[in-house]
Every structure is written in structure tokens, then in C-alpha cells.
Amino acid sequence: MNDLLERLRTGLPAEALISDPDVMASYAKDTAGFCDAGAPAAVVLPRTTEQVQHVMRTATALRTPVVPQGARTGLSGAANAIDGCIVLSLIKMDRILEISPVDRIAVVEPGVVNAVISRAAAEQGLYYPPDPSSWETCTIGGNIGTASGGLCCVKYGVTAEYVLGLEVVLADGRLLTTGRRTAKGVAGYDLTRLFVGSEGTLGVVVKAVLALKPAPPRQLALAAEFSSAAAACDAICRIMERGHTPSLLELMDRTTIRAVNAMAQMGLPETTEALLLAAFDTADPAADLTAVGELCAAAGATEIVPAEDEAESELLLQARRLSLTALENVKSATMIDDVCVPRSKLGAMLEGTAVIAEKYGLTIGVCAHAGDGNTHPVVCFDHDDPEESQRARESFDEIMGLGLELGGTITGEHGVGVLKKEWLARELGPLGVEMQRGVKQAFDPLGLLNPGKLF
């Protein structure tokens, strides 16, 4: 370890290298439960691409594993340290290098917080759509690593659709440039998309070219109450079938509603079984909300409340953004699932999750990006109760199994990390895993980048 630290010091400023065990412990893991984390040998917080290259060259020379990190807001253990590794935290590389209103792009470093780039784009009359629930704290690099989504994905898509190009430091320290700055481009294999969602296992992103859109009109929202999750899901199917394109279509079940009220006193209706939130940022959002309200009524909504203005709309959306945090307050620990199913199977997914909750005697709240079929069942349990913890883990796995049975995927936006390695193998099958391992071998033949993640 002394040799490692000495070699790192030769290419890093003193403040970029941390070796104090107590401080390093704070960088050991992300927010996922049931994911082991080791003790790093060093934590490095670079500010330049050259410093990242120095770290990777040192790691290659000494055969030391490297775990890239963003803000550690992830939910799959993808940022967890392993014993003796270098934790490479990119949070100090936080510059917005360029925003071009003509080309509609932003060039940023990986440590830029999502909300910061969103606000900077807005100042130029532009819009960066991907908005994970943790957008005030999560970084662009982390968003790219997990191919994250957000509330607006139903209309605007996920992170992968906004990453045009990258600069990536490879395992041996070489700097690879992928993609483009242009609106179109099909030259060669799409290596940019390959890195998006790779969870730091193929290279270290040090710069990203992001696509921006013109700022849309302010959105208006409505809330529709339903006496069952099935009725709410029927409404979702009707909305999508009729060709509507809401800027947001979100679902909260009764457990989630109560948790949000308990934490933030939002005054949401606790007697309803499911609350559907729909929003439009069109030229005439009120007309769109009226049409969607009629579809909700036809599906059995017990009450439909359109927001009167932007402030009221934002209040509704804030309630949804608080869902995961609120459910974390229900018990001492949570496991947040991330199962995405075809929209037509959303009702079956929610009903099946309720059956699983009853089977294991657990509180499982569900919030969902309903327009995408992306559900977030949150298993609440007592971390200090071994028996309840075991039931929580079993219910979590059963929910993932249900998602696959319904033709879905084990993760829509949170990634695989440590938490879902076994389930990734089930989803991909032996040949799929073999091909993925081949890609990993091509980029990282020594297996130094984020080992133990994905597969």
C-alpha cells in the first residue's frame, strides 16, 4: 500500500489523495442495502483528466482495482468499494465547459450535478430533460454510469438519448473520444452508448457532450384518485392507447401517499388506493388535462383534481419526488426495486407486488414512472431484525422474478451493481453474459475497473 500511495502522490496534488481510514470509510458505499463494501487503500479526488490518467496508469502498473464514483446516490451498490481498491471520486471535476444554444449541446465534466446543468441550460432557454429523483445531488457521471431516467422519461426519454459523445480514460490510462457534437452521426460502432449504463466497468468518463432541447412551456398537472391500482393502470393504458404524450405520468400507491404525508404534511388523500399524476407541457395543457381527466373518469377515478396554476402543479410533482425518501422513514431500512414491465402489464405487476407484500408480512410501497411501466416497489423492514431482513430480501427477489415473468426487466434506471448480479444473469441468459464478458475483456483485460459489479 505504501508503494501505491507514493506512486499516486507523484502525479496528484496533496489535497486530491485521501488515505485516512475514517475519511475513506465515508466513500465506501452508495445508498443500496444488502450490498457488501470493502475498505479502500486510497481515495482520489481528481480535478483534471491528466490526474485520472495518472491514477489509471498507476493502478495498471500495480494491478490495483479502481472503483469510479459519482455522488454515491446509487441504489444498486455499483459504487461500493472493494478491499484494497482505489476509490476514484469524480465529484471535483464539476465544470460546465460549454453551452451552445446554436448546436443545442452542453459539454460538462462528470461531477456536475444534474440540477446544476439543468438550471444552466434553462438560463440559455434550453432544457436538459433527464431528471432522476435525486437530481439535486446526483452527478452527470453517475447518471451516465447507470443510464438513469426520471419523471419526464415518458415524453423525453432517458440519459442514453442525451449523451452524444464522451471522453473516457481507459483502464491503462489512454484517453478515448467517442461520439460527436453533431445532431447526426453513424460512423462506426456506437461506443458512446456502450459506456452509458456500464457502471464504471469499461472506463472512466471525464467529459460528456449532452444534447439539449428548447425549453418547453410550463407544465400543468392533475391528480386522479382511484379505488384500486387496477383501475389506475387501466387509466394509464387508455391514456397511452389514445396517443397522448404527457410530460409526466406517475403513480403512487396508498402506502406511499401516507408516507409522504407523514414526512412532509402534503395533505394528499390517504383514503385512495392509488393516485395518478399526469402533466402536460404543450401549448394548451388545460385541454390535454381535460381529455386525460375524461379517460381517468372512464376508468373509474373517484376524484380528479386539475392544478390551477404552475405552483400547484409543482406541489404535486414535489410529492412524487419525495416518495422514495418518505418510504425510507417507514422503517429503519428499505430495499428499492426497479422493475420495468410493458405498460400493458403494469396492473399485473402492482397486483402481484401486493400479493408478495402480504405473503411476507411486509410493508411494500410502490411508486412508479407509470408512463414507462417502470415500477419502484420499496420494501420497508427493520434492519436489526435478522428474520425480517431475510423476508425483505426474499420479497425483493420475488418482485424481480415477477417482473421477468411479465416480460419486463430487472432494472429500468438504477443499474445492476452488486445487488442484482444474479438476476442479470437470469435475464440475459448464458450467451448474453458471455458476450457481455467479452466486451469487458476488450476494454479492461486485467479486470481492474469496478470488479465484482454487473457479473
DSSP secondary structure, 339-351, as one string: EE--GGGHHHHHH
Dihedral (CA of 376, 231, 222, 373) sign: positive
- Picking from 68, 49, 135, 94, the residue whose alpha carbon sits closest to that of residue 324 is 135
Dihedral (CA of 25, 30, 33, 34) sign: negative
φ, ψ at 94 (rounded to 5°): -125, 35
**Confidence at residue 150, expressed as pLDDT on a 0 to 100 scale:** 87
- Picking from 111, 6, 126, 102, the residue whose alpha carbon sits closest to that of residue 58 is 6
φ, ψ at 56 (rounded to 5°): -70, -35
Yes or no: say if 34 and 419 are a contact pair by the CB < 8 Å rule: yes
The set of residues, in sequence order, having a beta carbon less than 8 Å from that of 36 and lying 6+ positions away, is 77, 80, 418
H-state helical runs in 242-345? 254-264, 285-298, 310-321, 323-328
Domain boundaries, the chain: 2-89, 96-214, 218-259+275-317
Domain spanning 218-259+275-317: CATH 3.30.70.2190: yes
CB atoms within 10 A of CB 393: 16
Distance between start and end Cα atoms, the chain:
27
Angstrom distance (rounded) from CA 183 to CA 103: 8
Cell digits for 283?
401549448
Yes or no: say if 60 and 173 are a contact pair by the CB < 8 Å rule: yes
CATH class of 2-89: alpha beta
CA angle 360, 74, 314 (to 5 degrees): 90
Classify 258 as helix, strand or coil. Answer: helix
CA angle 444, 448, 454 (to 5 degrees): 80
Cell digits for 4?
501505491
**Confidence at residue 33, expressed as pLDDT on a 0 to 100 scale:** 81
Q: Would you write out the chain's pLDDT as a tens digit for each of its 455 residues?
A: 789 999 999 999 999 999 999 999 999 999 998 899 999 999 999 999 999 999 999 999 999 999 999 999 999 999 999 999 999 999 999 999 999 999 999 999 999 999 999 999 999 999 999 999 889 999 999 999 999 998 889 999 999 999 999 999 999 999 999 999 999 999 999 999 999 999 999 999 999 999 999 999 999 999 999 999 999 999 999 999 999 999 999 999 999 999 999 999 988 999 999 999 999 999 999 999 999 999 999 999 999 999 988 898 998 888 998 999 999 999 999 999 999 999 999 999 999 999 999 999 999 999 999 999 999 999 999 999 999 999 999 999 999 999 999 999 999 999 999 999 999 999 999 999 999 999 999 999 999 999 999 98
Distances (CA, A) of 317 to 79, 375, 394: 28, 17, 32
**Confidence at residue 252, expressed as pLDDT on a 0 to 100 scale:** 96
**Confidence at residue 392, expressed as pLDDT on a 0 to 100 scale:** 96
Yes or no: say if 111 and 94 are a contact pair by the CB < 8 Å rule: yes
φ, ψ at 265 (rounded to 5°): 50, 50
Angstrom distance (rounded) from CA 427 to CA 405: 10
Angstrom distance (rounded) from CA 6 to CA 1: 9
Angstrom distance (rounded) from CA 3 to CA 144: 33
Angstrom distance (rounded) from CA 289 to CA 156: 18
The CATH number, out of the four listed (3.30.70.890, 3.30.465.10, 3.40.50.720, 3.40.640.10), of the domain defined by the range 96-214: 3.30.465.10
Angstrom distance (rounded) from CA 133 to CA 135: 5
CB atoms within 10 A of CB 101: 12
Q: How many helices (H) and strands (E) does the chain have?
A: 15, 19
Yes or no: say if 132 and 138 are a contact pair by the CB < 8 Å rule: yes
- What predicted TM-score, i.e. pTM, was given to this entire model? 0.94
Strand stretches in 74-195, DSSP E: 86-89, 96-100, 105-108, 126-127, 163-169, 175-179
Helix (H) or strand (E) holding 17: strand 17-18
Angstrom distance (rounded) from CA 304 to CA 239: 15
- Picking from 111, 103, 155, the residue whose alpha carbon sits closest to that of residue 130 is 155
